Structure 1
Amino acid sequence: MNSWAGHAIWWHVYPLGFGPLRQIEQWLDYAVELGANGLQLGPVFASETHGYDTTDHFRIDPRLGDEADFDALITAARSRGVRVLLDGVFNHVGRSFQAPAHWFTGGDFEGHDSLRELDHSQPEVQDHVVKVMQHWLERGIDGWRLDVAYGVPPEFWRAALARVRETAPDSWFVGEYIQGDYPAILRETTLDSLTQYELWKAIWSSINDGNFFELAWALERHAAVLAAGVPMTFVGNHDVTRIASKLDDPRHLAHALAVLFTVGGIPSLYYGDEQAFTGIKEDRAGGDDAIRPAFPATPGELAEFGWPTYRLHQRLIGLRRRNPWLTYAVTTAPHLTNQAVALTSTHDGNWITTLLNLSDEPYRFPGIDPAAEVLESSADAGDPAVVPAHGWAVIA
C-alpha cells in the first residue's frame, strides 16, 4: 500500500451540502485539530443537481467555485499536510452529459431516469475515465473514491488503474462496495481499498440489539479483508442515516467510535458526526437533505452541544495516532457475551483491548491484568477489569 495511506484519517465532506470550496478551506484547521490528515470530498464537478449527475468531469461545479478556488483549497491542504481525495462518479452521468451514443448502455442507473449508465466495454469510456483521474491527480489530489464501483466490471478498474498508476504511482483508490466477497474484489480490481459496509452495519446493529456476537462475526470476516487490502472504515457517510440517529441509546455513541478507532482499517469521519449531528436518510426525493447539511462559515458558529463529542473524537483519534499499527491490526473477541465484549487488536507484537459494556450494571471482565494501563475510558473505575454500566475502556 502507498507509504502515506496507512496513516490517513479522512474527514469526509459533501461539498454541495456543506458549502463552497473557499468555505471548506476555512475548516481545514478544524479538521486537523480533530486529528484528521485527509479531506475526502464528495462530488465537486459540474452536475445537474446533487453532484452524482455529472455533466463535465473537467469543470468545477459553479455552485462550489471555480478552478482558482480548487487550486487554493489544494494549496491550503498541502500546507497543513492534509491529503485530498475526490469522488469519481464514473458508473453513470447526468442526462445532459455530452458524449457519443455508443458511450451509453441505453439503461438508467438503478431506475433513476436522470442518470445514464456508461458502457464500460467501450475503450473510449475507459480513455475518458483515465484522463479525468490523471488530470486531477496532476492538479494536486492524492486519490479517488470510486462511486458505485460495484456497478463497473472488475477488469475495467484493473486496466484503468494500471494506466493511471503509470503516471501517479503514489495515488490511492478506494471503491464503493456495499456487499460481496471483499477480498476477491480487492484482488480482481487491484483497488487499494473499499468501503467496509459490512463492519459499519455490524457496529450499530450489534449495539442496538445487544448482540455483540454479530460484531465478533463481522470482525472475523474483517480480518480476511485486511489480508487482501486495507478497507475504509466508517460509522457514517453521505448515503446513510447519521450514527447519532442510528443508535437507539445516545450513551452508546462512544462504543461505536471506540470500535472504529481500535480495529484495522483506514477511518473516514463524516462531517458533523464529530459534533453529534443527527439526520435520517429517507427513501424519497430530497431524502438525503437531512444528512447533507450546510455548515456555518466558521467553527465558532457551531452549537455548544456538539463539542463534547468532538473532544471524544480527538481522544480516540489521538489513541489511534499513538498506535499507528492499528491500521493493520486483526481483532478477535477473547471474551464475548450479548452485552459485553473484549476486543483485542494485535499486529507485529503490539496489542490493545477494547472493553464494551451495554448493560445497566458494571461488568467485570475476566482475565484482565490488574496492572493493565487504561489508555482511554468513559470513567475512571480504578480497577481496569471493571467497566461501568453503559461504559467502555481501552487498555494495554
Structure 2
Amino acid sequence: MAFDIKKIRADFPILSREVNGYPLVYLDNAATSQKPKQVIDCIVDYYSNYNANIHRGVHSLSQEATDAYEQARKAIQEHFNIEKTHEVIFTSGTTHGINLVANGFSSLLEKGDEIIVSALEHHSNIVPWQMLCERTGAILKVIPMNQDGMLVFSEYEKLLSDKTRLVFVNHISNALGTINPIKSIIKKAHQVGAAVLIDGAQACSHIKPDLQSLDVDFYVTSAHKMCGPTGVGILYGKEEWLTKLPPYQGGGEMIAEVTFEKTTYADLPHKFEAGTPNIAGGIAFGAAINYLNAIGFDAIATYEENILEYATKELLAIDGLKIYADIKEKTSVISFNIEGIHPYDIGTILDKMGIAVRTGHHCAQPIMDYFKIPGTVRASFAFYNTLEEVNRLVEGVKKAKMMLS
C-alpha cells in the first residue's frame, strides 16, 4: 500500500465527526488509537456470522471461530518474530500481562533478591512489582532518569549484581515518548543472569519489534494502542520461562485433567488462558496487525517523524512553552507546559476547539515529581494525523495562552 494520507484517514470513521462544532483533531493516540473500518468490520463479522466459543466445540461455528482466533495468534507470532506460536499468550492487555508475570514470580523469588524498574515507567509497570516485593521480601531498585527525559545507563549498570533477578523497562515512555535502549538493557541484565520484561504498549504502534533479535524474556503490549480493540493484548514469554511460571488463574481451558484429588494443567499457551477469552478482540487484533503491515512500519515511521519535527518546531516558537524530552531518540509524542499555566486549563480550552489532547501525569507520576510539575499537556500523534491538524493545535495553544495569561 502506498502511503496515501487521504485514503488512510477515510479508513477511520471517527475522524470525520465534529466535537464542539469543530472538526475533530484527535491527538490522544498514546492513550488509545482510533480504529479503522477494517478492524470494526472484523468485529461485526464475527458477531454476525460465526459467534461461538472456541477450542471446545465440534460444530462448524466453533471450528470457524477457533480457526480465526488461532490465525490471529499466528499473525501476531509472525509480526513480532516470535519463535513458537505457543509463546504468544492472549491477555486482556498490557497490565494483565505484567501482573501475570509478577504473580508467577511470587514463587520464584526469595527475600533479599533484587528487581529493577526504571524511573520512566507507567504505573502498571511499577505497582505490580512493588506488590511482588511485599509478598516475597525482594528489594526494588530504580534506574534514574535525567533532565533530558532519558535513563542514566551508567547508573543502571551499577545497580546490576548477582542478586538481580528481574529487570522491567518500557520500550517507549508513554509520558515523554523517550525510546529506551532496551537491547543494551537486556544484554546487560542477561550477563548477571536476570530475566527482562519489556512493556511495549507505547512502542508497537510506531515500530515493529523483533523479539528474537532483542532476546527478551517477556514482552507485553495491548491491541488498542495499535488500531485494535480494547480489552485484548499479548504476553510473549520464552518457552522456558512460561514453563517455570505457575498458572495465573484457574478455570476452564487451562486444564489437562481435573479430579477432586488433583488437577493437571494444559500445555502452553492454554495454561495461562483460563476461561472464555475476548474472542472477537483477539481476531480483530490480528486484523489490526495486518492493516498496519499493509501500510508498512517504515512508511509509518517516516511520516510520524515528519509530523513530530514540524510540531516540535512550531510549538517551541510559542514564548514560554517547554517541551519535556526534546531529544532525538523519541516517538511522536510532545509533552509540554506553558510557564504559569496549569496543563488542565490548556487541555480544557483545546477541547472546546475540537482538539483532543491528554493532560495530567499520564499514569507516570514519578516522572512529574522528578520535573517538579503537576503534569503536562501531551499531544501524541499517529500516522493518520496531518500537518493541518498540527497547525490547529498550535493555534489552539496560542489562543489558550492568550486567554489564560
Q: Which TM-score applies when normalising by structure 1?
A: 0.28
Which structure has more helix as a fraction of its residues? 2
Q: Which TM-score applies when normalising by structure 2?
A: 0.28
Higher relative contact order (CA 8 A, sep 6+): 2
